[in-house]
Amino acid sequence: MRKKEEKINQVFARGIKNFAKNWLPPIILSSLKKVTNKGIIWYGDFKSWEEAKRVSGGYEDKAILERVKEAAMKVKRGEAVYERDGVIFDEVQYSWPLLAGLMWIAAQNKGELNIIDFGGALGTTYFQNKKFLDAIPKVRWNIVEQKHFGDEGKKFFEDDVLKFYYDIETCLKETSANTILFSSVIQYLESPYKFLQNIKNIGFEFIIFDRTPFVDREEDLLTVQKVPPEIYPASYPCWFFSKRKFYSFFEKDYDIIAKFESPFDKANIPNSTFEGCILRKRKTI
């Protein structure tokens, strides 16, 4: 049984890696390689979170919520097709490996997807993939966010599928989510490894990372990310993770089902990439 599962995982991983190459036209692939976080810059090599925080505003800035809410409401009303980080897009920018992972997890669970989207704003990833998620027989999408985001989510966006919570513990008391998603969020936590240790202790069967910044060096890099005013005037501390350190953190407890690059993100930090991965808890014999 163990060998059969490993074989399935290997096939899935190869499929994720080759998806874009095999199915997207060359002109689209070429365009994806040119996409960057336009106007966003990262700077510094800070020694502590406090040091980085002193020269930045923080993610709690209310201007961020207002911009994201305005864009998300347009998507909900059908006035826009997609938003990300408060920016409206003319077409949905899919993370195909992430979507494939979500569908694969649902297939492992007899057509059910019960996921915690940690830091999921007002439903960016949910609405991004809703067309495909609607084909899954049973979906529960639980967003855990800061209170000011959670309040707006409960008031304007919550329904029978999309739920909002202020912490993971409360969510798990109400529903048995077996998957947790971190899409462009773990890098903004003050103590990411301490937090991720708690996630491992909870024992989620699946952990997904998407749009996570990495740097090719032995230790993590702490920077400040500055967002241009045309998006929203904000800046906040941001980690670039050492690949070796990050993946080593999970290797005793989780199998790496797939790794993939994010085509929509690029930083001005040398030797950096934005990547994602799908992890599955290793079964004990």
2-41+60-215+245-281, CATH topology level: Rossmann fold (3.40.50)
140: enclosing H helix or E strand:
strand 138-144
pLDDT at 209 over 80: yes
Instruction: Give the whole-angstrom CA distance, residue 15 versus residue 3.
Output: 18
Q: What is the residue-wise DSSP string for 157-204?
A: T--SSEEEESSHHHHHHH----EEEEES-GGGSSSHHHHHHHHHHHT-
Strand locations in 203-285, DSSP E? 206-215, 221-227, 234-242, 254-261, 272-281
3-state secondary structure at position 210: strand
Q: Report the distance separating Cα 52 and Cα 208, nearest Å.
A: 27
- Residue pLDDT, tens place only, 166-190: 999 999 999 999 999 999 999 999 9
Locate 39 and state its tokens: 């106007």
Domain ranges of the chain: 2-41+60-215+245-281
pLDDT at 25 over 60: no
Least confident of 17-21, 24-28, 42-46, 60-64: 24-28
Band the pLDDT of 58: cuts 50, 70, 90: low
Above 50 in pLDDT, residue 148?
Answer: yes
pLDDT at residue 263, rounded to an integer:
79
